Structure 1
Protein backbone atom coordinates (compact mmCIF):
# COMPACT_ATOMS: atom_id res chain seq x y z
CA UNK A 1 0.00 0.00 0.00
CA UNK A 2 1.41 3.38 -1.08
CA UNK A 3 -0.43 6.14 0.83
CA UNK A 4 -0.73 9.72 -0.42
CA UNK A 5 -0.02 13.03 1.29
CA UNK A 6 -2.39 15.66 2.67
CA UNK A 7 -4.04 17.57 -0.15
CA UNK A 8 -3.28 14.85 -2.68
CA UNK A 9 -4.97 11.76 -4.06
CA UNK A 10 -4.20 8.26 -5.27
CA UNK A 11 -3.24 9.27 -8.81
CA UNK A 12 -0.97 12.00 -7.43
CA UNK A 13 0.88 9.48 -5.25
CA UNK A 14 1.15 7.11 -8.18
CA UNK A 15 2.75 9.84 -10.27
CA UNK A 16 4.95 11.30 -7.50
CA UNK A 17 6.55 8.06 -6.36
CA UNK A 18 6.80 6.20 -9.65
CA UNK A 19 6.23 2.93 -7.82
CA UNK A 20 4.40 1.32 -10.74
CA UNK A 21 7.73 0.77 -12.48
CA UNK A 22 9.30 -0.61 -9.29
CA UNK A 23 6.38 -3.02 -8.99
CA UNK A 24 6.64 -4.07 -12.63
CA UNK A 25 10.40 -4.58 -12.43
CA UNK A 26 10.15 -6.67 -9.25
CA UNK A 27 6.84 -8.46 -9.89
CA UNK A 28 4.71 -7.28 -7.00
CA UNK A 29 1.38 -5.47 -6.72
CA UNK A 30 1.17 -1.86 -5.54
CA UNK A 31 -2.12 -0.21 -4.59
CA UNK A 32 -2.77 3.47 -3.89
CA UNK A 33 -5.48 4.05 -1.24
CA UNK A 34 -7.34 7.35 -1.42
CA UNK A 35 -8.48 9.28 1.63
CA UNK A 36 -12.14 10.03 2.36
CA UNK A 37 -11.93 13.35 4.21
CA UNK A 38 -11.53 16.44 2.08
CA UNK A 39 -8.18 18.03 2.88
CA UNK A 40 -8.33 21.01 5.22
CA UNK A 41 -5.20 22.96 4.43
CA UNK A 42 -5.90 26.26 6.15
CA UNK A 43 -5.46 28.24 2.95
CA UNK A 44 -7.92 30.40 1.02
CA UNK A 45 -6.61 28.98 -2.25
CA UNK A 46 -9.15 26.58 -3.81
CA UNK A 47 -8.22 23.24 -5.32
CA UNK A 48 -7.89 23.18 -9.10
CA UNK A 49 -11.30 22.52 -10.72
CA UNK A 50 -12.14 18.83 -10.84
CA UNK A 51 -9.13 17.78 -8.71
CA UNK A 52 -10.21 16.00 -5.49
CA UNK A 53 -7.78 16.54 -2.60
CA UNK A 54 -8.03 14.27 0.43
CA UNK A 55 -6.49 13.44 3.80
CA UNK A 56 -6.13 10.43 6.08
CA UNK A 57 -6.94 10.26 9.78
CA UNK A 58 -3.53 9.47 11.23
CA UNK A 59 -4.28 10.54 14.81
CA UNK A 60 -2.54 13.87 15.41
CA UNK A 61 -2.41 14.47 11.66
CA UNK A 62 -4.29 15.33 9.40
CA UNK A 63 -8.08 15.03 9.51
CA UNK A 64 -10.83 17.10 11.10
CA UNK A 65 -13.13 14.06 11.24
CA UNK A 66 -12.76 10.70 13.08
CA UNK A 67 -12.87 8.67 9.86
CA UNK A 68 -12.12 4.95 10.30
CA UNK A 69 -9.20 4.84 7.87
CA UNK A 70 -7.74 1.79 9.61
CA UNK A 71 -10.99 -0.06 8.91
CA UNK A 72 -10.70 1.07 5.30
CA UNK A 73 -7.12 -0.23 5.01
CA UNK A 74 -8.19 -3.60 6.42
CA UNK A 75 -11.06 -3.84 3.94
CA UNK A 76 -8.72 -2.93 1.10
CA UNK A 77 -6.37 -5.77 2.02
CA UNK A 78 -9.30 -8.19 2.32
CA UNK A 79 -10.41 -7.14 -1.16
CA UNK A 80 -6.93 -7.74 -2.55
CA UNK A 81 -6.74 -11.16 -0.91
CA UNK A 82 -10.15 -12.12 -2.31
CA UNK A 83 -9.52 -10.91 -5.85
CA UNK A 84 -5.78 -11.27 -6.53
CA UNK A 85 -3.08 -13.84 -5.98
CA UNK A 86 -1.06 -12.24 -3.20
CA UNK A 87 1.18 -13.51 -0.43
CA UNK A 88 -0.61 -12.61 2.81
CA UNK A 89 2.67 -12.85 4.71
CA UNK A 90 4.25 -10.13 2.56
CA UNK A 91 1.94 -7.14 2.82
CA UNK A 92 3.68 -3.78 3.29
CA UNK A 93 2.74 -0.15 3.89
CA UNK A 94 4.51 3.04 2.86
CA UNK A 95 3.44 6.64 2.40
CA UNK A 96 4.40 10.28 2.01
CA UNK A 97 3.79 13.07 4.56
CA UNK A 98 0.20 12.56 5.83
CA UNK A 99 0.60 9.16 4.20
CA UNK A 100 3.78 8.71 6.25
CA UNK A 101 1.89 9.56 9.43
CA UNK A 102 -0.79 7.07 8.32
CA UNK A 103 1.85 4.44 7.60
CA UNK A 104 3.02 4.76 11.21
CA UNK A 105 -0.56 4.30 12.40
CA UNK A 106 -1.00 1.24 10.17
CA UNK A 107 2.15 -0.25 11.73
CA UNK A 108 0.72 0.44 15.19
CA UNK A 109 -2.79 -0.90 14.63
CA UNK A 110 -2.38 -3.50 11.88
CA UNK A 111 0.62 -5.45 13.11
CA UNK A 112 -1.42 -8.64 12.68
CA UNK A 113 -1.62 -7.98 8.92
CA UNK A 114 1.43 -6.13 7.59
CA UNK A 115 5.01 -7.34 7.53
CA UNK A 116 6.93 -4.01 7.44
CA UNK A 117 6.35 -0.28 7.03
CA UNK A 118 8.25 2.58 5.37
CA UNK A 119 7.02 6.07 6.29
CA UNK A 120 8.48 8.98 4.32
CA UNK A 121 8.39 12.53 5.75
CA UNK A 122 5.84 11.52 8.38
CA UNK A 123 6.33 10.67 12.06
CA UNK A 124 4.47 8.62 14.66
CA UNK A 125 1.92 11.13 15.97
CA UNK A 126 -0.75 9.58 18.22
CA UNK A 127 -2.49 12.74 19.41
CA UNK A 128 -2.36 16.52 19.43
CA UNK A 129 -1.29 17.44 22.96
CA UNK A 130 -0.67 21.20 22.91
CA UNK A 131 -2.97 23.31 25.07
CA UNK A 132 -3.46 25.88 22.32
CA UNK A 133 -6.16 25.31 19.67
CA UNK A 134 -4.91 23.47 16.60
CA UNK A 135 -4.29 25.96 13.78
CA UNK A 136 -6.07 23.74 11.24
CA UNK A 137 -8.70 22.21 13.52
CA UNK A 138 -7.46 18.63 13.34
CA UNK A 139 -8.27 17.85 16.98
CA UNK A 140 -11.60 16.26 16.02
CA UNK A 141 -9.76 13.25 14.62
CA UNK A 142 -9.57 10.29 17.00
CA UNK A 143 -6.43 9.82 19.07
CA UNK A 144 -4.82 6.41 19.34
CA UNK A 145 -2.16 4.66 21.40
CA UNK A 146 0.56 2.82 19.51
CA UNK A 147 0.65 -0.63 21.11
CA UNK A 148 1.22 -3.18 18.33
CA UNK A 149 0.70 -6.84 19.17
CA UNK A 150 3.70 -7.73 17.02
CA UNK A 151 6.99 -6.03 16.20
CA UNK A 152 6.95 -4.31 12.80
CA UNK A 153 10.20 -3.51 10.93
CA UNK A 154 10.35 0.23 10.23
CA UNK A 155 12.27 2.14 7.55
CA UNK A 156 11.81 5.87 8.13
CA UNK A 157 13.15 8.29 5.50
CA UNK A 158 13.20 12.04 6.18
CA UNK A 159 14.88 15.06 4.66
CA UNK A 160 16.84 17.16 7.17
CA UNK A 161 15.73 20.23 5.16
CA UNK A 162 12.00 19.45 5.37
CA UNK A 163 10.05 22.57 6.37
CA UNK A 164 6.58 21.00 6.10
CA UNK A 165 7.16 18.20 8.60
CA UNK A 166 10.34 19.50 10.27
CA UNK A 167 13.00 16.99 11.23
CA UNK A 168 13.24 18.58 14.69
CA UNK A 169 9.46 18.72 15.10
CA UNK A 170 7.21 21.71 15.62
CA UNK A 171 9.09 22.85 18.69
CA UNK A 172 12.33 23.09 16.72
CA UNK A 173 11.10 25.28 13.85
CA UNK A 174 13.15 28.29 14.96
CA UNK A 175 15.70 26.47 17.14
CA UNK A 176 16.83 23.79 14.68
CA UNK A 177 20.42 23.91 13.44
CA UNK A 178 19.13 23.76 9.86
CA UNK A 179 17.90 27.10 8.55
CA UNK A 180 14.45 26.26 7.23
CA UNK A 181 13.40 29.80 6.47
CA UNK A 182 16.28 31.68 4.84
CA UNK A 183 15.46 35.24 3.74
CA UNK A 184 12.19 34.92 5.62
CA UNK A 185 9.22 36.88 4.33
CA UNK A 186 5.75 37.41 5.77
CA UNK A 187 4.33 34.25 4.19
CA UNK A 188 7.21 32.14 5.48
CA UNK A 189 6.83 33.68 8.93
CA UNK A 190 3.12 32.83 8.96
CA UNK A 191 3.91 29.31 7.81
CA UNK A 192 6.54 28.88 10.52
CA UNK A 193 4.13 30.07 13.20
CA UNK A 194 1.54 27.61 11.90
CA UNK A 195 4.06 24.77 12.03
CA UNK A 196 4.91 25.59 15.63
CA UNK A 197 1.26 25.14 16.50
CA UNK A 198 0.91 21.75 14.77
CA UNK A 199 2.50 19.81 17.62
CA UNK A 200 4.52 17.51 15.35
CA UNK A 201 6.99 15.28 17.23
CA UNK A 202 10.56 15.22 16.01
CA UNK A 203 11.94 12.41 13.88
CA UNK A 204 14.27 11.47 16.73
CA UNK A 205 11.32 11.15 19.13
CA UNK A 206 9.47 8.99 16.64
CA UNK A 207 12.45 6.70 16.07
CA UNK A 208 13.10 6.43 19.81
CA UNK A 209 9.52 5.29 20.34
CA UNK A 210 9.77 2.69 17.57
CA UNK A 211 13.01 1.36 19.03
CA UNK A 212 11.25 0.81 22.35
CA UNK A 213 8.20 -0.74 20.70
CA UNK A 214 10.41 -3.02 18.60
CA UNK A 215 12.64 -4.02 21.53
CA UNK A 216 15.93 -2.91 19.96
CA UNK A 217 18.84 -1.05 21.55
CA UNK A 218 19.63 2.59 20.78
CA UNK A 219 23.08 1.71 19.46
CA UNK A 220 22.87 1.64 15.67
CA UNK A 221 25.23 1.04 12.79
CA UNK A 222 25.50 3.05 9.58
CA UNK A 223 24.48 0.84 6.67
CA UNK A 224 24.34 3.46 3.89
CA UNK A 225 26.35 6.65 3.61
CA UNK A 226 27.12 9.11 0.82
CA UNK A 227 27.38 12.86 0.28
CA UNK A 228 23.75 13.58 1.17
CA UNK A 229 22.20 10.48 2.78
CA UNK A 230 22.99 8.46 5.89
CA UNK A 231 21.00 5.41 6.98
CA UNK A 232 21.38 4.01 10.49
CA UNK A 233 20.06 0.57 11.39
CA UNK A 234 18.99 -0.37 14.92
CA UNK A 235 18.72 -4.15 14.99
CA UNK A 236 20.26 -5.45 18.22
CA UNK A 237 17.51 -6.77 20.53
CA UNK A 238 17.34 -5.70 24.14
CA UNK A 239 18.00 -8.32 26.77
CA UNK A 240 15.38 -11.04 26.91
CA UNK A 241 13.77 -10.14 23.56
CA UNK A 242 15.83 -12.23 21.14
CA UNK A 243 12.64 -13.83 19.78
CA UNK A 244 10.45 -10.74 19.88
CA UNK A 245 12.08 -7.80 18.12
CA UNK A 246 12.19 -6.03 14.77
CA UNK A 247 14.71 -3.62 13.23
CA UNK A 248 14.28 0.13 12.91
CA UNK A 249 16.16 2.00 10.19
CA UNK A 250 16.40 5.77 9.82
CA UNK A 251 17.59 7.32 6.54
CA UNK A 252 18.41 11.01 6.89
CA UNK A 253 18.64 13.01 3.67
CA UNK A 254 20.36 16.38 3.56
CA UNK A 255 19.29 17.89 0.26
CA UNK A 256 17.26 20.87 -0.89
CA UNK A 257 15.64 18.56 -3.42
CA UNK A 258 13.94 19.50 -6.63
CA UNK A 259 12.69 23.05 -7.04
CA UNK A 260 9.44 23.60 -5.17
CA UNK A 261 9.77 20.67 -2.76
CA UNK A 262 10.96 22.78 0.25
CA UNK A 263 12.79 19.65 1.35
CA UNK A 264 9.48 17.79 1.69
CA UNK A 265 10.03 15.15 -0.94
CA UNK A 266 10.06 11.52 -2.00
CA UNK A 267 13.55 9.95 -1.86
CA UNK A 268 15.53 9.37 -5.01
CA UNK A 269 16.32 10.91 -8.36
CA UNK A 270 13.56 11.89 -10.76
CA UNK A 271 13.20 9.77 -13.86
CA UNK A 272 10.86 12.19 -15.64
CA UNK A 273 11.29 15.74 -14.47
CA UNK A 274 12.31 16.77 -10.99
CA UNK A 275 9.04 17.54 -9.24
CA UNK A 276 8.66 16.17 -5.74
CA UNK A 277 11.93 14.25 -5.55
CA UNK A 278 14.70 14.73 -2.99
CA UNK A 279 17.38 14.18 -5.66
CA UNK A 280 19.44 12.21 -3.15
CA UNK A 281 21.72 9.26 -3.79
CA UNK A 282 21.25 5.53 -3.15
CA UNK A 283 18.01 5.66 -1.11
CA UNK A 284 15.06 5.40 -3.49
CA UNK A 285 12.18 3.10 -4.46
CA UNK A 286 14.54 0.16 -4.89
CA UNK A 287 15.99 0.75 -1.43
CA UNK A 288 12.50 0.71 0.11
CA UNK A 289 11.57 -2.44 -1.80
CA UNK A 290 14.76 -4.23 -0.79
CA UNK A 291 13.99 -3.39 2.83
CA UNK A 292 10.54 -4.92 2.43
CA UNK A 293 11.87 -8.12 0.84
CA UNK A 294 13.88 -8.89 3.98
CA UNK A 295 10.74 -9.17 6.10
CA UNK A 296 7.61 -11.25 6.28
CA UNK A 297 5.03 -12.07 8.92
CA UNK A 298 6.73 -15.43 9.53
CA UNK A 299 3.51 -17.40 9.79
CA UNK A 300 1.68 -15.03 12.13
CA UNK A 301 -2.06 -15.40 11.67
CA UNK A 302 -4.26 -12.33 11.43
CA UNK A 303 -4.95 -10.98 14.90
CA UNK A 304 -2.47 -13.48 16.30
CA UNK A 305 -0.19 -12.82 19.26
CA UNK A 306 3.03 -14.46 18.15
CA UNK A 307 6.03 -12.15 18.08
CA UNK A 308 7.88 -11.12 14.97
CA UNK A 309 10.69 -13.57 14.42
CA UNK A 310 13.32 -11.23 13.02
CA UNK A 311 14.21 -10.99 9.34
CA UNK A 312 12.71 -13.26 6.67
CA UNK A 313 14.55 -14.55 3.63
CA UNK A 314 14.99 -12.53 0.45
CA UNK A 315 12.07 -12.66 -1.98
CA UNK A 316 12.65 -14.88 -4.98
CA UNK A 317 10.78 -14.69 -8.27
Structure 2
Protein backbone atom coordinates (compact mmCIF):
# COMPACT_ATOMS: atom_id res chain seq x y z
CA UNK A 1 0.00 0.00 0.00
CA UNK A 2 1.35 3.48 -0.88
CA UNK A 3 0.78 4.79 2.66
CA UNK A 4 3.46 2.41 3.96
CA UNK A 5 6.19 4.66 2.52
CA UNK A 6 5.32 7.49 4.91
CA UNK A 7 6.52 7.94 8.47
CA UNK A 8 4.11 6.81 11.18
CA UNK A 9 2.72 10.31 11.99
CA UNK A 10 2.23 11.14 8.33
CA UNK A 11 0.64 7.76 7.69
CA UNK A 12 -1.79 8.39 10.54
CA UNK A 13 -2.57 11.84 9.13
CA UNK A 14 -3.21 10.44 5.66
CA UNK A 15 -5.41 7.70 7.06
CA UNK A 16 -7.39 10.18 9.14
CA UNK A 17 -7.95 12.53 6.24
CA UNK A 18 -9.05 9.73 3.94
CA UNK A 19 -11.49 8.44 6.52
CA UNK A 20 -13.02 11.74 7.51
CA UNK A 21 -13.30 13.38 4.13
CA UNK A 22 -14.98 10.37 2.54
CA UNK A 23 -17.37 9.54 5.37
CA UNK A 24 -21.12 9.85 5.22
CA UNK A 25 -24.02 8.37 7.11
CA UNK A 26 -26.80 6.47 5.37
CA UNK A 27 -29.71 8.91 5.28
CA UNK A 28 -31.61 7.52 2.34
CA UNK A 29 -30.33 10.21 -0.03
CA UNK A 30 -32.02 13.08 1.84
CA UNK A 31 -28.93 14.60 3.48
CA UNK A 32 -27.87 16.87 0.61
CA UNK A 33 -31.25 18.60 0.41
CA UNK A 34 -31.31 19.08 4.20
CA UNK A 35 -27.85 20.68 4.13
CA UNK A 36 -28.81 22.98 1.29
CA UNK A 37 -31.82 24.19 3.28
CA UNK A 38 -29.81 25.99 5.94
CA UNK A 39 -26.26 24.86 6.73
CA UNK A 40 -24.06 27.98 6.85
CA UNK A 41 -20.50 28.71 7.93
CA UNK A 42 -19.64 31.44 10.43
CA UNK A 43 -16.41 32.88 11.77
CA UNK A 44 -15.58 34.38 15.13
CA UNK A 45 -12.48 35.39 17.03
CA UNK A 46 -11.62 33.79 20.34
CA UNK A 47 -8.46 34.63 22.29
CA UNK A 48 -6.87 36.11 19.21
CA UNK A 49 -7.53 33.06 17.02
CA UNK A 50 -9.92 33.03 14.09
CA UNK A 51 -12.35 30.16 14.68
CA UNK A 52 -15.17 28.84 12.51
CA UNK A 53 -18.23 26.65 12.73
CA UNK A 54 -21.09 25.43 10.56
CA UNK A 55 -24.66 25.88 11.76
CA UNK A 56 -27.79 24.09 10.60
CA UNK A 57 -31.15 25.54 11.65
CA UNK A 58 -34.24 23.62 10.51
CA UNK A 59 -36.94 25.63 8.82
CA UNK A 60 -40.17 26.55 10.59
CA UNK A 61 -40.73 27.20 14.27
CA UNK A 62 -40.67 30.99 14.00
CA UNK A 63 -38.82 32.66 16.87
CA UNK A 64 -39.26 29.72 19.20
CA UNK A 65 -36.05 28.76 21.04
CA UNK A 66 -34.59 25.49 19.81
CA UNK A 67 -32.44 22.89 21.51
CA UNK A 68 -28.89 22.76 20.13
CA UNK A 69 -26.57 19.86 19.35
CA UNK A 70 -22.84 20.65 19.27
CA UNK A 71 -21.16 17.94 17.15
CA UNK A 72 -17.36 17.69 17.32
CA UNK A 73 -15.31 16.09 14.56
CA UNK A 74 -12.52 13.59 15.07
CA UNK A 75 -8.80 14.19 14.64
CA UNK A 76 -7.77 15.40 11.15
CA UNK A 77 -11.41 16.33 10.52
CA UNK A 78 -13.50 19.48 10.10
CA UNK A 79 -17.00 20.58 10.98
CA UNK A 80 -18.08 19.85 7.42
CA UNK A 81 -16.70 16.31 7.72
CA UNK A 82 -18.72 15.79 10.89
CA UNK A 83 -21.84 17.13 9.19
CA UNK A 84 -21.44 14.61 6.36
CA UNK A 85 -20.40 11.77 8.65
CA UNK A 86 -23.37 11.96 11.01
CA UNK A 87 -26.26 13.31 8.95
CA UNK A 88 -27.42 15.28 11.99
CA UNK A 89 -28.91 17.95 9.72
CA UNK A 90 -31.55 15.42 8.75
CA UNK A 91 -31.82 13.28 11.90
CA UNK A 92 -31.49 16.13 14.39
CA UNK A 93 -33.29 18.69 12.24
CA UNK A 94 -36.35 16.46 11.91
CA UNK A 95 -36.47 16.31 15.71
CA UNK A 96 -36.34 20.11 15.99
CA UNK A 97 -32.65 20.52 16.90
CA UNK A 98 -30.32 23.16 15.54
CA UNK A 99 -26.88 21.62 14.99
CA UNK A 100 -23.44 23.26 15.22
CA UNK A 101 -20.29 21.74 13.73
CA UNK A 102 -17.24 23.67 14.98
CA UNK A 103 -13.71 23.41 13.54
CA UNK A 104 -10.83 22.50 15.81
CA UNK A 105 -7.45 24.25 15.60
CA UNK A 106 -5.24 22.25 13.25
CA UNK A 107 -8.10 19.77 12.77
CA UNK A 108 -7.81 18.74 16.43
CA UNK A 109 -9.19 19.38 19.92
CA UNK A 110 -7.31 19.93 23.16
CA UNK A 111 -9.07 17.19 25.09
CA UNK A 112 -6.49 16.95 27.88
CA UNK A 113 -3.72 14.49 26.99
CA UNK A 114 -4.86 14.29 23.36
CA UNK A 115 -4.47 15.47 20.57
CA UNK A 116 -2.45 17.18 17.85
CA UNK A 117 -1.81 20.92 17.36
CA UNK A 118 -4.62 21.99 19.71
CA UNK A 119 -2.94 20.12 22.57
CA UNK A 120 0.56 21.34 21.70
CA UNK A 121 -0.64 24.96 21.55
CA UNK A 122 -2.70 24.62 24.77
CA UNK A 123 -5.79 25.88 22.95
CA UNK A 124 -8.70 26.75 25.26
CA UNK A 125 -11.32 24.72 23.42
CA UNK A 126 -13.65 24.59 26.42
CA UNK A 127 -13.80 28.37 26.44
CA UNK A 128 -14.20 28.48 22.67
CA UNK A 129 -17.20 26.14 22.71
CA UNK A 130 -18.87 28.23 25.41
CA UNK A 131 -18.24 31.37 23.35
CA UNK A 132 -19.54 29.66 20.21
CA UNK A 133 -22.82 28.71 21.89
CA UNK A 134 -23.22 32.35 22.95
CA UNK A 135 -22.45 33.48 19.39
CA UNK A 136 -25.08 31.10 18.01
CA UNK A 137 -27.59 32.48 20.50
CA UNK A 138 -27.08 35.92 19.00
CA UNK A 139 -27.88 34.58 15.53
CA UNK A 140 -30.89 32.37 16.28
CA UNK A 141 -33.03 31.66 19.37
CA UNK A 142 -31.42 28.82 21.38
CA UNK A 143 -32.70 27.21 24.56
CA UNK A 144 -29.53 27.36 26.66
CA UNK A 145 -30.96 24.81 29.10
CA UNK A 146 -31.03 22.25 26.27
CA UNK A 147 -27.57 22.34 24.72
CA UNK A 148 -26.11 18.88 24.04
CA UNK A 149 -22.63 17.73 23.10
CA UNK A 150 -21.59 14.80 20.94
CA UNK A 151 -18.35 13.87 19.22
CA UNK A 152 -16.36 11.19 17.46
CA UNK A 153 -12.85 10.05 18.44
CA UNK A 154 -10.87 13.18 19.47
CA UNK A 155 -14.21 15.02 19.39
CA UNK A 156 -15.65 12.51 21.87
CA UNK A 157 -12.68 13.11 24.15
CA UNK A 158 -13.37 16.84 23.93
CA UNK A 159 -17.04 16.34 24.85
CA UNK A 160 -15.89 14.52 27.98
CA UNK A 161 -13.55 17.39 28.85
CA UNK A 162 -16.37 19.91 28.58
CA UNK A 163 -18.48 17.75 30.90
CA UNK A 164 -15.58 17.71 33.38
CA UNK A 165 -14.43 21.34 33.17
CA UNK A 166 -17.67 23.16 32.27
CA UNK A 167 -20.54 20.93 33.45
CA UNK A 168 -23.07 23.73 33.08
CA UNK A 169 -22.67 23.92 29.28
CA UNK A 170 -24.16 20.59 28.13
CA UNK A 171 -27.40 19.05 29.40
CA UNK A 172 -26.28 15.61 28.18
CA UNK A 173 -23.40 14.17 26.17
CA UNK A 174 -22.92 11.33 23.69
CA UNK A 175 -19.35 10.20 23.06
CA UNK A 176 -18.50 7.81 20.21
CA UNK A 177 -15.09 6.11 20.19
CA UNK A 178 -13.36 8.35 22.70
CA UNK A 179 -12.90 8.50 26.45
CA UNK A 180 -11.92 10.87 29.26
CA UNK A 181 -8.41 12.24 28.69
CA UNK A 182 -8.08 14.57 31.69
CA UNK A 183 -6.50 13.26 34.92
CA UNK A 184 -9.12 14.70 37.23
CA UNK A 185 -12.76 15.21 36.31
CA UNK A 186 -13.80 17.92 38.74
CA UNK A 187 -17.31 18.39 37.36
CA UNK A 188 -19.82 17.81 40.15
CA UNK A 189 -23.03 18.43 38.20
CA UNK A 190 -24.65 15.19 37.00
CA UNK A 191 -24.70 14.97 33.20
CA UNK A 192 -26.53 12.20 31.37
CA UNK A 193 -24.10 10.34 29.13
CA UNK A 194 -24.30 7.87 26.24
CA UNK A 195 -21.10 6.04 25.31
CA UNK A 196 -20.89 4.23 21.95
CA UNK A 197 -17.84 2.12 21.38
CA UNK A 198 -16.76 -0.55 18.92
CA UNK A 199 -15.54 -3.61 20.79
CA UNK A 200 -12.90 -4.19 18.10
CA UNK A 201 -11.64 -0.60 17.90
CA UNK A 202 -7.85 -0.67 17.32
CA UNK A 203 -7.43 2.99 18.35
CA UNK A 204 -9.66 3.04 21.43
CA UNK A 205 -9.13 -0.45 22.89
CA UNK A 206 -12.16 -1.77 24.75
CA UNK A 207 -9.97 -2.98 27.62
CA UNK A 208 -7.69 0.05 27.50
CA UNK A 209 -4.14 0.38 26.27
CA UNK A 210 -1.59 2.52 24.49
CA UNK A 211 -2.05 3.90 20.98
CA UNK A 212 0.91 5.72 19.43
CA UNK A 213 2.26 6.74 22.81
CA UNK A 214 -1.09 7.89 24.21
CA UNK A 215 -2.88 5.85 26.86
CA UNK A 216 -6.61 5.23 26.45
CA UNK A 217 -8.47 4.00 29.56
CA UNK A 218 -10.77 0.94 29.50
CA UNK A 219 -14.27 1.81 28.33
CA UNK A 220 -15.82 0.09 31.33
CA UNK A 221 -13.76 2.28 33.66
CA UNK A 222 -15.09 5.42 31.98
CA UNK A 223 -18.64 4.10 32.31
CA UNK A 224 -18.11 3.41 36.02
CA UNK A 225 -16.51 6.82 36.60
CA UNK A 226 -19.44 8.64 35.00
CA UNK A 227 -21.97 6.57 36.94
CA UNK A 228 -20.14 7.39 40.18
CA UNK A 229 -20.05 11.10 39.32
CA UNK A 230 -23.80 11.03 38.65
CA UNK A 231 -24.45 9.12 41.89
CA UNK A 232 -26.26 6.34 40.03
CA UNK A 233 -27.64 3.20 41.63
CA UNK A 234 -25.31 0.21 41.58
CA UNK A 235 -27.67 -2.00 39.57
CA UNK A 236 -27.00 -2.37 35.85
CA UNK A 237 -29.76 -3.03 33.35
CA UNK A 238 -28.75 -4.85 30.16
CA UNK A 239 -30.26 -4.28 26.73
CA UNK A 240 -29.65 -5.71 23.26
CA UNK A 241 -29.92 -3.11 20.50
CA UNK A 242 -29.07 -4.54 17.09
CA UNK A 243 -25.39 -5.46 17.15
CA UNK A 244 -24.83 -3.44 20.35
CA UNK A 245 -24.80 -4.83 23.88
CA UNK A 246 -25.88 -1.96 26.12
CA UNK A 247 -25.77 -1.48 29.88
CA UNK A 248 -27.53 1.33 31.73
CA UNK A 249 -27.11 2.77 35.23
CA UNK A 250 -30.22 4.56 36.46
CA UNK A 251 -31.41 6.02 39.76
CA UNK A 252 -28.91 8.83 39.25
CA UNK A 253 -28.96 12.34 40.67
CA UNK A 254 -31.04 14.57 38.42
CA UNK A 255 -32.15 11.49 36.44
CA UNK A 256 -28.78 11.71 34.64
CA UNK A 257 -28.53 8.09 33.51
CA UNK A 258 -25.34 6.66 32.04
CA UNK A 259 -25.54 4.24 29.11
CA UNK A 260 -22.79 2.26 27.40
CA UNK A 261 -23.35 0.49 24.08
CA UNK A 262 -20.55 -1.78 22.90
CA UNK A 263 -20.98 -2.59 19.22
CA UNK A 264 -19.87 -6.13 18.51
CA UNK A 265 -17.14 -6.44 15.88
CA UNK A 266 -17.00 -2.71 15.09
CA UNK A 267 -13.74 -0.81 14.84
CA UNK A 268 -12.98 2.91 14.78
CA UNK A 269 -16.07 3.84 12.78
CA UNK A 270 -19.22 5.93 13.16
CA UNK A 271 -21.91 3.27 13.66
CA UNK A 272 -24.38 3.31 10.79
CA UNK A 273 -22.07 5.29 8.53
CA UNK A 274 -20.04 4.24 5.54
CA UNK A 275 -17.37 1.68 6.38
CA UNK A 276 -13.95 3.18 5.69
CA UNK A 277 -10.50 1.56 5.51
CA UNK A 278 -11.64 -1.50 7.49
CA UNK A 279 -8.19 -3.16 7.34
CA UNK A 280 -6.75 -0.23 9.26
CA UNK A 281 -9.66 1.14 11.26
CA UNK A 282 -11.75 -2.00 11.74
CA UNK A 283 -15.19 -2.86 10.45
CA UNK A 284 -18.31 -0.71 10.53
CA UNK A 285 -21.90 -1.80 11.13
CA UNK A 286 -25.36 -1.34 9.64
CA UNK A 287 -27.13 -2.88 12.64
CA UNK A 288 -26.79 0.16 14.90
CA UNK A 289 -27.19 3.80 13.85
CA UNK A 290 -25.29 6.14 16.16
CA UNK A 291 -26.89 9.31 14.78
CA UNK A 292 -30.41 8.10 15.52
CA UNK A 293 -29.46 6.79 18.96
CA UNK A 294 -27.74 10.04 19.94
CA UNK A 295 -30.74 12.17 18.95
CA UNK A 296 -33.13 9.83 20.77
CA UNK A 297 -30.97 9.99 23.90
CA UNK A 298 -30.93 13.79 23.82
CA UNK A 299 -34.71 13.87 23.37
CA UNK A 300 -35.06 11.79 26.54
CA UNK A 301 -33.02 14.38 28.45
Give the structure-1-normalised TM-score: 0.66
What aligned pairs does 1:2-21 form with structure 2 within 5 A after superposition?
2-21=71-90
CA shift digits 1:145-185 (9 cap, x unpaired): 312131000000000010011111115xxxxxxxxxxxxxx
> In the alignment, which of 232, 252, 257 is matched to residue 262 of structure 2?
252
> In the alignment, which of 91, 101, 124 is matched to residue 157 of structure 2?
101
> In the alignment, which of 96, 113, 123 is matched to residue 60 of structure 1?
113
Could you tell me which residue of structure 2 aligns to residue 210 of structure 1?
226
2-structure distance, mates of 1:245, 1:26: 22
Is the 1:215–1:245 Cα contact (8 Å) retained in structure 2? no
1 or 2, which has the higher strand percentage? 2
Is the 2:196–2:290 Cα contact (8 Å) retained in structure 1? no
1 or 2, which has the higher helix percentage? 2
Could you tell me which residue of structure 2 aligns to residue 306 of structure 1?
none
> In the alignment, which of 232, 238, 244 is matched to residue 229 of structure 1?
244
Is the 2:74–2:108 Cα contact (8 Å) retained in structure 1? yes
What aligned pairs does 1:145-164 form with structure 2 within 5 A after superposition?
145-164=184-203
2-structure distance, mates of 1:115, 1:253: 25
Give the structure-2-normalised TM-score: 0.70
Is the 2:188–2:229 Cα contact (8 Å) retained in structure 1? no
Q: Give 3-state SS (helix, strand or coil) of 1:77's partner.
A: helix
Is the 1:229–1:280 Cα contact (8 Å) retained in structure 2? no
1-structure distance, mates of 2:236, 2:260: 10
CA shift digits 1:93-148 (9 cap, x unpaired): 00000001001111112221210000100001114xxxxxxxxxxxxxxxxx3121
Matched, 1:292 2:294: no
Q: Which has the higher contact order (CA 8 A, sep 6+)?
A: 1
Could you tell me which residue of structure 2 aligns to residue 279 of structure 1?
285
The alpha carbon displacement at 1:196 in A equals: 6.4
Is the 1:4–1:98 Cα contact (8 Å) retained in structure 2? yes
Q: Give 3-state SS (helix, strand or coil) of 1:32's partner.
A: strand
What aligned pairs does 1:135-146 form with structure 2 within 5 A after superposition?
145-146=184-185
Gaps of at least 5 residues in structure 1 are 39-53, 128-144, 172-194, 238-242, 257-262, 296-317
